[in-house]
């Protein structure tokens, strides 16, 4: 059950990427690796929420913890959707630029 309560946080993806060493030649952060890591964390968060729901249904997990993990997964998905929307806006802005 302790693995279910682990909080990995999604708001500090840049710090995590820098700490993980996802660097490119010019000293920046590898954007693709950062996005892949975030999506993997999202998948793990949703797997934890599904497992929490299963454990709650059989009475092995209290309601508060199950609700917290489901809300965490919902927040992570909302964050990911906003990130996607911002990336699409940036792409559209770049595609409208005149050369």
**pLDDT for the residue 25:** 58
Blockwise average pLDDT, block size 10, the chain, 99 residues: 45 56 65 92 97 96 96 96 95 91
13 contacts 37 by C-beta, under 8 angstroms: yes
CA neighbor of 49 nearest in space, from 94, 96, 3: 3
**pLDDT for the residue 99:** 79
**pLDDT for the residue 21:** 56
Stated pTM of the model: 0.66
Q: DSSP 3-state assignment of 50?
A: helix
């Amino acid at each position: 059950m302790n693995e279910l309560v682990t909080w990995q946080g999604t708001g500090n993806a840049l710090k995590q990427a820098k700490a993980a060493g996802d660097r490119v030649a010019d000293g920046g952060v590898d954007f693709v690796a950062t996005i892949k890591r975030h999506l993997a964390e999202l998948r793990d968060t949703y797997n934890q929420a599904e497992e929490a729901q299963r454990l709650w249904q059989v009475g092995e997990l209290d309601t508060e913890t199950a609700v917290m993990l489901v809300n965490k997964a919902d927040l992570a998905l909302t964050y990911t959707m906003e990130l996607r929307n911002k990336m699409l806006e940036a792409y559209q802005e770049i595609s409208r630029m005149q050369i």
